[in-house]
Structure 1
Amino acid sequence: MKLKQEARRSRDEGEEKLSRSFRPNFTAPLNTQVKSSKWQLERVLFALAGTMNLIGLILYIFASEWFLIIVALVGINQVLFATTGFCPASLILRRAGLKGACKW
């Protein structure tokens, strides 16, 4: 009886070691895109910039030419984000809980 228990215990230990050593590595390649139903930070930033540009353009057409300043500021902010990765709206959106797809 004792011999059977010891044999069973050593067999279980051997199977455990074997299963630990042959675990497959399921890391995703680096070039895959994130597939999620939630909007990522970068996507929200582009939507926000496009919306602000349209609002500024509509206000320019119907109200005053001074609203072109909104379009210019949004454009400058987009260039700033593209070159440095810094955007004031991204700081606010990160605090709201959005996560970016980029890891920088």
Structure 2
Amino acid sequence: MNIDRALLVFAGVMVLVSLVLTTQVNENFIWFTAFIAVNMMQASFTGFCPAVIVFKKLGVKSGSAFK
């Protein structure tokens, strides 16, 4: 698995977690979902994502989007 795919899986899991938290704990967790969306849009324009730094340190192979 490369960084691009790992990032997509991570983002999907985080969205699902935030939706569960929103429905089961407190509706204010919707802001966590919004933060994830904004971070994904920012990463698509700038090519910078903090999660990629963590994945690189964990030894995940580079992909085509994040080198």
SS of corresponding position for 1:100: coil
Structure-2-length-normalised TM-score: 0.90
Question: Percent of pairs identical after alignment?
Answer: 30
**Which one of 64, 85, 95 corresponds to residue 47 of structure 2?**
85
The one-letter code of the counterpart of 2:30 is L
- State the partner residue of 2:28: 66
The amino acid that maps onto 1:49 is: A
Structure 2 CA distance, aligned partners of 1:71 and 1:79? 13
**What RMSD over aligned residues (CA atoms) do the two structures have, in Å?**
1.2
Q: More helix per residue: 1 or 2?
A: 2
Runs of 5+ consecutive residues of structure 2 not aligned to the other structure:
none
Report the alpha carbon displacement of residue 72 of structure 1 after superposing the two structures with TM. Answer: 0.7
Consecutive unaligned residues in structure 1, runs of 5 or more = 1-38
CA displacement at 1:44 relative to structure 2: 0.6
State the Cα distance separating 1:45 from its structure 2 match.
Answer: 0.4
TM-score, normalised to structure 1, is: 0.60
Distance in structure 2 (CA, Å) of the matches to 1:90 and 1:43: 11
Aligned to 1:75: 37
Give distance in 2, aligned partners of 1:66 and 1:97: 35
- Which among 10, 15, 30 is matched to residue 53 of structure 1? 15
1:100 equivalent to 2:62? Answer yes
- 1:33 is matched with none
Instruction: In structure 1, give the amino acid aligned to 2:58.
Output: A
Please list the CA deviations of residues 31-73 of structure 1 after superposition, one character each: whole Å capped at 9, or x if unmatched.
xxxxxxxx11010101010101001001111110111111111
Distance 1:66 1:100 in 2: 35
